[in-house]
């Protein structure tokens, strides 16, 4: 007879919890919670710390070995530990899908038989289908025996009604697993402690009660066999051990080859970087082998060239500042001693020379201070709203009155009045630097032209105002236009600054416009003068 039991559901076991994090203590720091001061590290400890650093070859080998072990572990879990569970789950899903397919073909008996034969052959299941006349009478419609020890074809008829009752009691669908006891020659439900299994082979019976379109009560029985997987597990264990050993060896070998190819260009870049740190700006940072290493080499090479420029500018800056400070100081000291020691030298002319040189010193210090604030970011803009056109016109008029006796001519053109919101003082500082530069280098006609124009950027949907200052001097070669904004830059060794110039004006202009959110530039043609411009968004 059949001993019934509850349906046993096979579920994948949950992942084991992660191990707790290890408590770590970093060497070099006090473990006292109230103190976080670093402890002194001896040279021996420093050498030990460096020696503990692991090279890229060993790290990559460890990573690939760990990855291989994880893959092997997953294969072992899936193909050995959970193989039986997965197998039973798949078989259960197949038999339920087969039952659903049969329920869709109940209205045509001929078609139902074709479907039943196809399902039985494809899924290796035995099938019996009954039309239930009442709870005690049934007419068999389909009987397909797919394998010899089929449970539903080997049990008594009254036990089929027992299966029907079990399905009816469980909502019309019921899945049971049985094993066969050869001594008693009975099938018993899996999990029934009254029986000792004599075989690992299980028989699945899926019972389903449904109706056809005519309202007839149909009872479907499907039976499938779950074969034991013990022998399969043993075979898979051997296969996994062999494959695991081969994969682990290949992973380690591959790691060494990859690490060697990766580490060589990195070691080369590292050696070149050490030379750069020692001041060798000619170090070769050419990277080969990989795109990222090549890009890193190009970046380091660019950094080396920029550092070389900075170092050159630093030396030139020190030399120029030293010269600019020494000249007025020498003049002040010389004239002061002459006025003190030589009778008749205490004249207003000599006193004016001392005042002019002192003013030159003050101007140099002021420009250096302004440039330092702008480059360090400590200088903050204080924007206000003002009429830019009127401000430019007033400034040009003051220059006209101051330089009228020297023969300078200032011309101002604007298409309309423009209101801007920016730092008025800083903008005027940049503008007057450009005007002073034009006064110094304009041609023999002594003309300085200031123009205000509007420009619209249709893509960005913004409007800009541009203020241009044009001179009629010698002009600047095209290859020097990007360099004139650097501090103390000289167009050529023969180039000399104006007597009252500090050499910092254009650098201050560039940094000021950056602070104000604007831009600056220059257009020049050798022999025909230059046009410097400032641009602000409206």
For 73-104, write each residue's pLDDT tens digit.
Answer: 888 887 777 877 887 888 888 899 999 999 98
Where do the H-state alpha helices sit in 186-229? none
- What is the mean predicted confidence (pLDDT) over 403-428? 90
**CA–CA separation, 133 vs 100, rounded Å?**
22
**Backbone phi, psi, residue 215, to 5°:** 85, 5
- First and final C-alpha spacing in the chain: 96
Least confident window among 170-179, 350-359, 363-372, 384-393: 363-372
496-515 tens-digit pLDDT: 444 444 557 788 788 888 88
Q: Quick check: 17 pLDDT over 70?
A: no
**CA–CA separation, 112 vs 487, rounded Å?**
95
**CA–CA separation, 164 vs 206, rounded Å?**
10
185 — pLDDT class (breaks 50, 70, 90) = low
Q: Quick check: 392 pLDDT over 70?
A: yes
217's CB contacts (< 8 A; 6+ apart) are: 131, 132, 209, 211
Domains, the chain, in order of start with CATH, read 83-228 (3.30.450), 291-374 (1.10.287.130), 380-537 (3.30.565.10)
137-165 tens-digit pLDDT: 899 999 999 888 888 888 888 888 989 99
Which H or E element spans position 369? helix 348-376
* Beta-bridge mates of residue 217: 132, 211
CA 418 to chain centre: 44
* Phi-psi group of 428: left, alpha or beta (phi > 0 → left; psi -120 to 50 → alpha; rest → beta): alpha
Q: Is the Cβ–Cβ distance between 462 and 422 less than 8 Å?
A: no
320-329 tens-digit pLDDT: 666 667 767 8
Return the pLDDT at 2: 52
Q: Quick check: 298 pLDDT over 90?
A: no
- When the pLDDT of each residue in the chain is averaged and rounded to a whole number, the result is 77
205 — pLDDT class (breaks 50, 70, 90) = very high
Comparing CA positions, the residue from 524, 504, 390 lying closest to residue 532 is 524
pTM for this prediction: 0.41
Question: pLDDT: is 394 or 17 the higher one?
Answer: 394
- What is the mean predicted confidence (pLDDT) over 343-349? 82
- What is the mean predicted confidence (pLDDT) over 195-202? 61
- What is the mean predicted confidence (pLDDT) over 332-353? 83
Strands annotated E in 91-216: 126-134, 137-144, 173-181, 186-189, 202-211
Return the pLDDT at 317: 65
Comparing CA positions, the residue from 327, 400, 331, 392 lying closest to residue 364 is 327
Q: Quick check: 198 pLDDT over 80?
A: no
What pairing do the DSSP bridges indicate for beta strands 519-525 and 529-537? Answer: antiparallel
* Beta-bridge mates of residue 208: 173, 220
386 — pLDDT class (breaks 50, 70, 90) = very high
User: Hey, which of 39-48, 201-210, 287-296 has the most confident mean pLDDT?
Assistant: 201-210
């Amino acid at each position: 007879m059949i001993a019934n039991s509850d349906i046993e559901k096979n579920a994948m076991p949950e992942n084991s919890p992660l191990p707790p994090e290890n408590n770590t203590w970093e060497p070099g720091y006090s473990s006292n919670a109230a103190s976080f001061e670093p402890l002194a590290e001896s040279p021996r400890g420093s050498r030990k710390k460096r020696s503990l650093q692991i090279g890229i070859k060993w790290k990559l080998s460890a990573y690939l070995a760990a990855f291989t072990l994880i893959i092997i572990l997953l294969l072992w879990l899936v193909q050995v530990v959970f193989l039986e569970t997965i197998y039973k789950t798949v078989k259960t899903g197949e038999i339920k899908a087969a039952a659903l397919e049969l329920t869709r073909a109940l209205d045509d008996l001929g078609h139902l038989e074709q479907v039943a034969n196809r399902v039985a052959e494809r899924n290796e299941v035995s099938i019996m289908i009954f039309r239930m006349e009442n709870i005690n009478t049934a007419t068999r419609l389909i009987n397909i025996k797919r394998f010899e020890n089929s449970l539903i074809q080997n049990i008594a008829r009254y036990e089929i009604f027992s299966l029907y009752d079990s399905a009816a009691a469980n909502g019309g669908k019921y899945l049971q697993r049985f094993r066969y006891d050869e001594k008693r020659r009975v099938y018993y439900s899996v999990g029934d402690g009254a029986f000792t299994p004599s075989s690992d082979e299980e028989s699945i019976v899926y019972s389903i009660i449904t109706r056809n379109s005519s309202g007839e009560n149909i009872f479907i029985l499907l039976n499938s066999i779950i074969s034991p997987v013990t022998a399969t597990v043993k075979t898979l264990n051997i296969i996994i051990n062999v494959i695991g050993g081969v994969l682990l060896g290949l992973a380690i070998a591959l790691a060494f080859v990859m690490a060697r190819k990766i580490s060589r260009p990195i070691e080369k870049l590292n050696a070149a970087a050490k030379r750069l740190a020692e001041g060798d700006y000619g170090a070769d940072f050419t990277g080969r082998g990989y795109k990222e290493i090549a890009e890193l080499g190009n970046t380091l090479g660019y950094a080396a060239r920029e550092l070389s420029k900075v170092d050159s500018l630093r030396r030139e800056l020190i030399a120029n500042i030293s010269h600019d400070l020494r000249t007025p100081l020498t003049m002040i000291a010389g004239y002061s001693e002459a006025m003190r020691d030589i009778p008749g030298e205490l004249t207003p002319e000599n006193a004016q020379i001392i005042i002019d040189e002192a003013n030159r010193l003050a101007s140099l210090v002021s420009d250096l201070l302004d440039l330092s604030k702008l480059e360090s970011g400590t200088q903050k803009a204080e924007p206000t709203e003002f009429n830019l056109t009127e401000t430019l016109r007033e400034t040009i008029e003051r220059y006209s009155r101051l330089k009228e006796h020297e023969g300078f001519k200032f011309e101002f053109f604007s298409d309309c009045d423009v209101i801007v919101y920016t730092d008025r003082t800083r903008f005027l500082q940049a503008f007057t630097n450009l005007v002073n530069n034009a006064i110094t280098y304009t041609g023999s006609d002594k003309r300085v032209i200031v123009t205000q124009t509007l420009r619209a950027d249709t893509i960005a949907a913004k409007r800009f105002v541009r203020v241009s200052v044009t001179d009629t001097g010698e002009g600047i070669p095209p290859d020097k236009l990007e360099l004139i904004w650097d501090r103390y830059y000289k167009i050529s060794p023969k180039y000399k600054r104006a007597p009252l110039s500090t050499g910092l004006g254009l650098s201050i202009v560039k940094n000021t416009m950056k602070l104000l959110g604007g831009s600056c530039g220059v257009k020049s043609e050798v022999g025909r003068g230059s046009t410097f411009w400032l641009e602000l968004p409206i």
